[in-house]
Each structure stands twice: as structure tokens, then as C-alpha cells.
Chain A
């Protein structure tokens, strides 16, 4: 008993010292012992998927800075609804943490007729992870060199064009671009980037809206040419790829990842968790890792996460209507 007690105290001291270093002043007011037991990160994707790798990377890093075991629990299904609902109903003690795409969490509010939870009310934000845009790609040997030429090409085809998309974010990016450029193309949906590669490279598809991990890896392999990113500015990690906005089309689509806990989690626990993630996000290896996933590190206060989540929910109501995505 005594030993256990001693250990706990020492850990608390170390944790408090860490927090104090990061956030002077604010830290000493919050003298709780969190985290003092195993923390569970909930991942809404199946084990082994690209997103699962990201969650597991953070579980490893947070375990290092918190000196606690962090396990990853995969709760895939229903586009992330199952995981979000599971977290919202967990005990609000900071030991069940949802590491997921904030964009997707917000989008589900519009993609479903009856979303199981109101994410802005049932969850609260802790920290951001990254921002990553979807990308517009063509085959590496395509005559189309930039977005202007792509728009011209699609105009020439007069609505007879096709584009490949992976995930709802890809579809929405493409549809918003088509709408603003005043051209048309039919969507061909793919489950994953690799599924679409042969059809893009052979020129069967006129263009594709792809996730950054896949798009960048295939650009490096010399099979794809990336014309633009969907973010309002160029990304720090990919300064050579222009933003669609530079062509005068007001596309502002930046996917982001965040950390969420049940809404009733107390402030001090949220702040402690926020600081743990902050220290992980400041590490150079984290930046290198996230850049490989085609995104930039992104940090913010819990309040900023809540605000962006609410804003994203509203934006997606418009996108879902614009892209004419049927609701489940």
C-alpha cells in the first residue's frame, strides 16, 4: 500500500512539474492525479488502417509523457458513429479518449437523418492533432498540368467526364470545385486510394480527389501529378502544391483531427490531457510523422476545438446539400 502510495505521489510530482513547465501559473491550481490508471484511446477505424496507425502512434507517445499505459480500442462501423456514441456514454473521467477526424465527426451530423448523438453537446474538445487537405490528382503523364487546364479539359468534355473519389471528403471537395468552376463530371467511388490507382493512371478517369497519404506516396513514385490541395493556403509540408483558391475558386476545405472526451469530463482533467497532447505535438518526430501523412501539426485550446467542431458541423450541412449526398 505504502509503496503504491509513494509511487503515485512521485508520478503526480513529475506530472505536475511537466505541466508547470508547459503552462506556468495555470498548472498548480489543478493538483489532480490524472492519469493514474490505464487510458483507452478509441479508434473509429479497424485495426491496421492508416488512421489506426496514427492513433497508435499517439497512444505510444502519450504513454511516454504520461508514464501510463495507453491502449487502443477499435470501434469501427457506421462511419464513426459507433465510436463517437461509445465515447459519449463512457464515464467522464478522462480515461476514455476519442482520437478521430473532427471533420468526419462533424460531417456525420449531416450525413445521417438521425445522428445517434449531437456531437457538439455529447463530446468536448481537448486538443487538435493536425490539419490535412484532400488533393486533386491526375495521371503523371496527363497533358493536364494545372487546375486551369483541368477546368478547360472538363469544359471540353461537356459533362461527359468522370472523377474518382475516396471517402466523403474527396467527393465533397470535387463537387465544390466542379460547382465553383461551373463544370460537371460523374463520380466513381472507390473504397481506398489504391483501388483507384490503375483507373487513374490508365486515364480512364479525368481526375481524382484523394486523401493526402495516398496521393503524396504515389506522387513520389511518379504515378500521379498533384494539381492542388483543398486547403485555403498551401500546406507547410507540401509548399510546391498550390491551393485551389489561387485559381480564383473559393475552395476552403481542410480536414482536421482532434481529441475528444465525454462532455461532462471536468476541466482540470481536460487541461491535463490537453497538455499531454501538447507536449507530444511539440516533438520533432511527431511533426515528421504527421508530415508523412500529408498534414501539418495543429494545436489549440479545448475551447478552440469546441468552436471549430461547431463551425464544421454547420459547413457540412451546406456541403451535403451541395454535393447531393443522400442521408442515411
Chain B
């Protein structure tokens, strides 16, 4: 029952009026940042960092954490409404969430995303409290070969993401891998495929790629084939809420997503992204009616949304227990802690229990606030869809442009965004889907790094992948997954199911 004692300490520390206020500020700011496409949480946190210098350490961490999960949350709102993922983990939400919105179920999709995220957030909080330290010990067992195997499994799962032919999905994953090769080679420091453009030295930037491929292509598509005039969108509460059958589908998906996300979030590097993709794959695989995936399946929103929120919570575990930031956002949090004179790591739990448990408790409070703030706002968000296209589209374009430019203040990023818009349009015409490509693009560089490191460490002996139990297990899982895809009978039913769209 130690856990409850700890949580009680935390709620005492986080429940002061001042801390509640900072939690509210953080979550509201985060939601706004998440809703505006392009202005991601990373630059926002970095800009706000100096403001926290003067605050009490706990208050400042509560506010920064609030911005982080608030932005995660707001990102799904734009994904659902206008098919615009602000960050990698909401790419999946676009697939089914936006389809739901097109069917007039935007309200339901938003509500499910909110409730799923809240549930996952609650579980994530308890998870950190109960299993944080032992779990981080497991994450520490992951060496380069194990990461390689994990990324390989992720890529194979990406193939299942697409609705069309397997061949096209594989081609898209490979295309993503190729795009991921652009940039500085880590082993030699030499640049690859940069064509002498300094803007490509650090690789292709994620934001112009994803905004071009998803957001702007969506606009072009709609201009080409104007969607049928929308019926007046009802904002009656009854129509905004998920129906009973939608809830019945969503609840088990949210449970599974939460489980997957909680575990994958602990792994450094792309945990939250992998979690949302993995959850989507799982839902599609076990669904009795996989036919509805791609047309707005509720499970495809509930699962990934829960998964990425759970992962967002548990990604604090490596930082709080090991002092290792698992993603760039955690790196900023670590910077904030160092500035406040706190060295992140296991010692925080014993030397500053009020701080450690206060932060854990504030995550739960923050998630509650998000639901309270956002559920009533669903009506307003949905109304946004009734804005005429002639006003909505230029506004979206403007926000995309500002977002892309402001992250690097390089005009080149705008050029990249235009290039990917054209590319995305060609893909759309060819019937290829961009989601598997994005996963290939994100996981590819991580996979390459770990492959090369493993082979240097083993002096070129590929047995290193089989001798290690973790990587061997993951590789077996990868092979099984591949068999499922290649197995002819499966392929036949799969094509029957998805070819007709």
C-alpha cells in the first residue's frame, strides 16, 4: 500500500492552489499549441523555459508537463477535424478520426479521443507510481541489437496500416526508409543525398513532410473533388456524443491501447509513435470486421489515442528514475530540472519525494482538467467544420506556413513542404497511402543506426541479433508477422476486404 501513501504525498504537493493554477495554465496553453498546426510542443516548451526560472521547481515542472500532454491532446483535435497531424503520434489518429469526421461523427471522434486519453492518463499515472522503477530496469536491458529488432518489427507492422495492396504498402515503407537516409551519416559525419543543400544536413524535417503529405494534400483533394455540401452540422449534445454501439467498440480498444502504450512509452526513442501505430495494427488485426477500417472505425481512434497518451505519461519513467530523457520533450524537462538545481534520476524519489510524487499526481490532475476543458469545447470545434471552405482552407494554409517557417526560420522548409505536397498528391493519384511511409521515415534512421552499431560491436558478426534473447524474441515476432502478411489465404481475404474502396 506504499503506492497510495506516495500518491497521497503527491496529491498534497500538487493540490495547492498555486500548483493547480499552473497546471491549468499549462494544459490550456498546451491545448492551444496542439490545435495550431505546426507549432509543436518542443519549440513552445523551449520558449517558455526561461519563464519557469523564477517559479518554484514543482510549479514549473507541473506547468511544462501540462503543456506537453495538453499538446498531445490538442494535436488529435486537428487530426480529426482537418486531417492535420501536428506531431508523429497523431498521424494514426488521422486515418480513422478524419474519416469519422467526414461521416459527420466528428463530435463522437473527439469525445472518444478525449475519454480514451483520460482513461489512459489515469492508468499511466498509477502505472508510474506502482511500477516505475522496476520497469525502467527492463528498458535498460535494451542494447543496440534489441532496438534494431524492435524497429524492424515496427516497420513490418507499418505494412498493415495501409488499406490497399500489400505491394504498395511495402513500397511506401521502403520509400520512407529512403527519405530517412537523407542527412548526415552518423558514423562518418559525411552527408548523404543532400544535393549540397544545407537545409537537408540534419535530414528532412518532420513537420514540412507531414503537413505537406497530409494537411495540404487533403485541401488539394477536396478542391479537386468538392465533398458533397455538408448538412448543417448539429451541435445538439445528443449528436456530439458517441452512440452506445460506438462506446461498446471503443472501450476494449482503449483498454488494449492503454496497455500497449504504457509499455512502449518506457522505451527511449519513438515510444509514443510506435505505441499509436502498434495499437492501430492490433485493433485492425483482431477486429471481427476489418472491412470498416479506413472508413472511420471507432476502435482506430480509441486505441491509438489511448496508446499515445499512456505512452506520453510513461515516457516520464526513464527521466524520473534513470535521468535519461526518452525524447526531445523529456530533454527539455531535464533541462528545466537542472536549471532548478535538481539532478534528474532515481535520487529525486528519495531526496525530493514531494517533487517526484507531486509531478506524478499533477499528471492525473492535468488529464482531468483536459477533459473538463475540452468536452464542452467539442461543440465549438465541430462548429469550426461549418466554416466555409473558402475561408477554412486559406486559414489552414496560413497556419501550416507559419508553423513550418517558425520552427527553423528557414525559407527552405517552405520549399520542402511544397515538394511534399506535390509528392503526396502524386501518391494519392496512384492510390498509395502516406502513413506507412511516415513510419518508415521515422523508424528508418533509428533502425540504421542500431544495425550499424550492433555490427561494429560484434565485429561484423550478424549472430549478435540471434544470441541476445530480447532481439531474438522480437525477430521471431517479426517473422510471424511477415508470414501473416505473405500467407496466401490471408492475403486473399485481405485484398477482398480492402481493395474495393
Q: How large is the interface on B (under 10, 10 to 19, 20 to 34, 35 or more residues)?
A: 35 or more
The closest CB in chain B to the CB of A71 belongs to B47
Q: For A75, what are the chain B residues with a Cβ–Cβ distance below 8 Å?
A: 408-409
Distance from B117 Cβ to chain A, minimum over Cβ atoms (Å): 23
Decide: B341 and A160 in contact? CB cutoff 8 A: no
Q: Are B198 and A81 in contact (CB under 8 A)?
A: yes
Question: Once the chains bind, are B198 and A77 in contact (CB under 8 Å)?
Answer: yes
B201 touches A77 (CB 8 A): yes
Task: Indicate if A74 sits at the interface (CB-CB under 8 A).
Answer: yes
Q: Which residues of B contact A57 (CB under 8 A)?
A: 339
Q: Does A322 have its Cβ within 8 Å of any Cβ on chain B?
A: no
Residue interface mask A288-308, B partner, CB < 8 A = 1: 110011000000000000000
Interface residues on chain A, number (Cβ under 8 Å): 50
- Complex Cα spacing A289 to B323, Å: 17
Instruction: Map CB proximity to A onto B121-152 as digits: 1 under 8 Å, 0 otherwise.
Output: 00000000000000000001111100000000
Q: From residue B41, how far is it (CB to closest CB) to chain A in Å?
A: 9
> Which among B10-18, B75-83, B284-292, B449-457 touches the partner chain?
B449-457
Contact of A100 with B by CB under 8 A:
no
Instruction: Give the nearest-CB partner of A197 in chain B.
Output: B324
Residues of A contacting B322 with CB < 8 Å?
Answer: 221
Q: State whether B143 touches A328 (Cβ < 8 A).
A: no
- Chain B residue numbers with a CB within 8 Å of A217 are 323, 343-345
A50 within 8 A of B: yes
Chain B proximity mask over A191-211: 1 for CB below 8 Å, otherwise 0: 100110111011011000000
Out of A59, A60, A162, A328, name the residue touching B190 (CB < 8 Å). Answer: A328
A49 at the interface (CB under 8 A from B): yes
B332 within 8 A of A: yes
Would B201 and A48 count as touching, CB distance under 8 A?
no
CB of A124 closer than 8 Å to a CB of B: no
Q: Which of A130-156 contact B (CB under 8 A)?
A: none
Q: Known: A186-B456, A218-B323. Is A198-B140 also a contact (CB below 8 A)?
A: yes
B186 interface residue (CB < 8 Å to A):
yes
Q: How many A-B residue pairs have CB under 8 A?
A: 129
- Which residue of chain A has its CB nearest to the CB of B322? A221
Q: Is the CB of A76 within 8 A of B43?
A: no
| Residue in A79, A188, A288 whose CB lies within 8 Å of B453 | A188
Q: Once the chains are docked, how many angstroms separate the CA of A74 from the CA of B347?
A: 33
Does A47 make an interface contact (CB < 8 A)?
yes
Question: Which residues of chain A have C-beta atoms less than 8 A from B186's C-beta?
Answer: 189-191
Closest residue of chain B to A52 (Cβ to Cβ) is B46
Q: Is the CB of A53 within 8 A of B335?
A: yes
Q: Please name all residues of chain A whose beta carbon is closer than 8 Å to the beta carbon of B408 when the two chains form the complex.
A: 74-77
Question: A292 and B343: CB pair below 8 A?
Answer: yes
Given known pairs A50-B335, A74-B408, A199-B143, the reply for A59 and B50 (CB within 8 Å) is yes
Whether the pair B459, A160 counts as a contact (CB closer than 8 A) is yes
Contact B338 A328 (CB under 8 A): no
For the complex, is A111 an interface residue (Cβ under 8 Å from B)?
Answer: yes
Assembled-state Cα–Cα distance A188/B450 (Å): 10
Taking the complex as formed, is B328 at the interface, i.e. its CB lies under 8 A from any CB of chain A? yes
Interface 1/0 per residue, B327-353 and A, CB below 8 Å: 011011001001101011111000000
| Residue A56 CB within 8 A of the other chain | yes
Over the window 81-106 of chain A, the binary record of Cβ atoms lying under 8 Å from chain B Cβ atoms (1 yes, 0 no) is: 11000000000000000000000000
B323 near A76 with CB under 8 A, answer: no
Cα–Cα, bound, A54→B346 (Å) = 24
- The answer to the question of B402 belonging to the interface, with a C-beta cut-off of 8 Å to chain A, is no
Q: Judge whether A47 and B46 touch: CB under 8 Å.
A: yes
Q: Please give me the 7 A-B residue pairs with the lowest Cβ-Cβ distance, nearest first.
A: A47-B46, A53-B335, A48-B332, A78-B201, A60-B50, A194-B324, A48-B46
Ordered by A's residue number, 26 sampled pairs between the chains whose C-beta atoms are within 8 Å are A46-B328, A47-B42, A47-B332, A49-B328, A57-B339, A73-B409, A74-B46, A74-B409, A77-B410, A78-B202, A162-B456, A187-B187, A189-B187, A189-B453, A194-B268, A194-B326, A195-B268, A195-B449, A198-B140, A198-B144, A199-B453, A201-B140, A202-B141, A221-B345, A293-B338, A328-B189
Chain B contacts to A: CB under 8 angstroms: 42-43, 45-47, 49-50, 53, 140-144, 184, 186-191, 198-199, 201-202, 268-269, 322-326, 328-329, 331-332, 335, 338-339, 341, 343-347, 408-410, 449, 453, 456-457, 459
Known: A74-B43, A187-B187, A190-B186. 14 other contacts (CB 8 A): A47-B332, A48-B328, A52-B335, A57-B339, A59-B50, A60-B50, A77-B198, A189-B453, A195-B269, A198-B144, A199-B144, A221-B346, A288-B341, A293-B338
- Listed in ascending order, the chain A residues whose CB lies under 8 Å from chain B are 46-50, 52-53, 56-57, 59-60, 73-79, 81-82, 111, 160, 162, 168, 186-191, 194-195, 197-199, 201-202, 204-205, 217-218, 220-221, 288-289, 292-293, 325-326, 328
